[in-house]
């Protein structure tokens, strides 16, 4: 996954949904395991993102018209 | 010149030539009086002091905001003699001066923009949290910029910050800030949020952020805005028009993005919760399985018992009907060559037969 299509918000939301679904009692074990695996994948990605990524400052090369 | 007689128009032309040469433009400060706007376009007013009063003429486009008689104004303009209406100064630019007038002008502008709904709560939009891209409008040399970047780096990572390096005070500030806001809004791939910020300063230093132009540009931004001006007392109009307001550049960064250590904690909690939910589910599945096994066992057991019971009943019935029970009662079964003799005609004299009694067999011969 590249920096650009990584979406912290979306992954957080997905994880919250997974937790809520796993909390409901009527999920079968197979499904619970799949949810767990996906949840752990997301946790790893979020952690890696928080630990690894850096802020990027880009200075816009634009001459602001001083006469305005 | 003493002997030259001029026509009136020639005189006016001569005076104007002289004035243009001597004072192509001039800055005059004084108290505003007789301020009026004609046809929504032309502005007439006087500037006066204790002893004198001078007439001015301009257009509404030059107004720094709403004005009121009694305010101190500083006006740049060209003195001119009108052929019919006499002497006046044609306005090139004007601004309120002195703390009282600045405050008054700000209050008037605030009331005007407020009545237009620019500061309405209903206009405020939520900021994306956390944003992936930020358009930062500030001076790249300023402490405000350094503080913002520092707090961003401490709190959050992976954000793209695009800096529009503008002057935040002085004559050029207003135009540059407005242009930067418009630049980001016109961008094909605009940032998710605009941060317009500067550090504290005097009321005059912060003036750009209370101008009508900057305030309107902030209000018109399609990209959600957060305006952070470091100050203690007065709130700038740009802040009122922004979707969100922060007290300092650092505070803006705090409002914009979560705190990394806190997020890591939260993710860790979720990780534990995930594990607990799964093991809880597995435990429940095990309990269910144990319950099912038990049920199955109990069902088989009761089936076996029922089978056994009916077998016992069949056995008793069978026993009740058994030939032995008949022999017990004193009857005898007669067989010839293994076949039961049922009729006298089945046997003749001399036949060998077997008698079956309760306690054994006896051979006999028919007489």
Supply the DSSP string of B52-106, one letter for each residue: -EEEEEEEGGG-SS---TT-EEEEEEEEEEETTTEEEEEEEEEEE-SHHHHHHHH
Q: Model-level pTM greater than 0.80?
A: no
Asked if B167 contacts B173 with a C-beta cutoff of 8 angstroms, the reply is yes
Q: Cβ contacts (< 8 Å) between A64 and chain B: which residues?
A: 164, 166-167, 172, 175-176, 179-180
Residue bearing the bigger pLDDT, B285 or B102: B285
Q: Cβ contacts (< 8 Å) between A9 and chain B: which residues?
A: 128-130
Residue A67 domain-assigned? no
Please tell me the predicted confidence (pLDDT) of residue A65. 64
Q: What is the mean pLDDT of residues B214-234?
A: 88
ipTM given for this complex: 0.72
Residue A20 domain-assigned? yes
Residue A38 domain-assigned? yes
CA atoms within a 13 Å half-sphere pointing along the CA-CB vector of B163: 19
Residue A13 domain-assigned? yes
Portion of chain B with pLDDT greater than 70, in percent: 99
Contact: A29, B270; criterion CB under 8 Å: no
Residue A59 domain-assigned? no
Residue A3 domain-assigned? no
Residue A58 domain-assigned? no
Nearest to A47 among B161, B267, B278 (CB): B267
Domain that holds residue A18: 8-51
Residue A41 domain-assigned? yes
Please tell me the predicted confidence (pLDDT) of residue B277. 86
Whether residue B58 lies within 8 A of chain A, CB to CB, comes out as no
* Nearest chain A Cα distance for residue B321, angstroms: 58
User: What strands, in cross-sheet order, belong to the sheet with B160-165?
Assistant: A56-59, B160-165, B133-138, B193-198, B225-229, B244-246
Q: Cβ contacts (< 8 Å) between A48 and chain B: which residues?
A: none
Please tell me the predicted confidence (pLDDT) of residue A25. 63
Query: Tens digits of per-residue pLDDT, B138-191?
Result: 998 888 899 999 999 888 888 899 999 998 888 788 889 999 999 999 999 999
Q: Which residue of A has its CA nearest to B160?
A: A56
Contact: B179, A64; criterion CB under 8 Å: yes
Contact: B183, A9; criterion CB under 8 Å: no
Domain count, chain A: 1
Q: How far apart are the first and last CA of chain A?
A: 44
**Cα distance between residue B331 and residue B322, in whole Å:** 13
Q: What is the mean pLDDT of residues A25-50?
A: 85
């Amino acid at each position: 996954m590249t920096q650009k299509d990584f979406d912290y918000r979306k992954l957080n939301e997905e994880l919250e949904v997974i937790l809520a679904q796993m909390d409901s009692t009527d999920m079968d074990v197979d499904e619970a395991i799949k949810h767990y695996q996906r949840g752990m994948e997301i946790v790893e990605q979020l952690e890696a993102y928080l630990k690894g990524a850096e802020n990027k400052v880009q200075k816009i090369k634009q001459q602001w018209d001083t006469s305005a | 010149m003493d002997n030259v007689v001029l026509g009136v128009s020639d005189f006016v032309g001569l005076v104007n030539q002289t004035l243009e040469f001597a004072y192509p433009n001039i800055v005059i400060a004084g108290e505003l009086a007789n301020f009026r706007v004609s046809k929504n376009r032309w502005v007439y007013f006087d500037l006066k002091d204790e002893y004198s009063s001078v007439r001015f003429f301009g257009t509404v486009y030059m107004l720094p905001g709403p004005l009121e008689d009694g305010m101190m104004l500083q006006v740049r303009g060209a003195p001119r003699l009108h052929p019919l209406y006499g002497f006046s100064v044609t306005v090139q630019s004007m601004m309120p001066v002195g703390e009282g007038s600045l405050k008054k002008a700000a209050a008037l502008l605030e009331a005007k923009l407020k009545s237009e709904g620019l500061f309405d709560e209903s206009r405020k939009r939520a900021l994306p949290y956390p944003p992936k891209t930020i358009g930062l409008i500030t001076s790249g040399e300023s402490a405000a910029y350094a503080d913002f970047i520092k707090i961003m780096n401490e709190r959050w990572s992976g954000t793209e910050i695009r800096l529009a390096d503008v002057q935040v005070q002085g004559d050029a500030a207003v135009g540059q800030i407005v242009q930067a806001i418009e630049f980001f809004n016109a961008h094909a791939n605009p940032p998710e949020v605009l941060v317009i910020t500067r550090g504290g300063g005097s009321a005059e230093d912060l003036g750009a952020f209370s101008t009508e132009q900057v305030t309107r540009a902030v209000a018109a931004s399609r990209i959600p805005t957060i305006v952070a001006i470091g100050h203690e007392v007065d709130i700038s109009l740009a802040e009122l028009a922004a979707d969100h307001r922060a007290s300092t550049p650092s505070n803006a960064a705090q409002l914009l993005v979560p705190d990394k250590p806190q997020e890591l904690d939260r993710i860790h909690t979720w990780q534990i919760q995930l594990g607990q939910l799964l093991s809880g589910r597995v435990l429940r599945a095990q309990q269910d399985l144990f319950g099912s096994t038990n049920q199955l066992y109990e069902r088989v057991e009761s089936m076996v018992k029922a089978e056994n019971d009916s077998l016992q009943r069949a056995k008793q019935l069978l026993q009740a009907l058994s030939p032995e029970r008949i022999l017990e009662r004193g009857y005898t079964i007669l067989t010839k060559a293994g076949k039961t003799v049922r009729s006298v005609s089945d046997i003749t004299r001399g036949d060998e037969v077997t008698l079956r009694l309760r306690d054994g067999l006896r051979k006999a011969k028919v007489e």
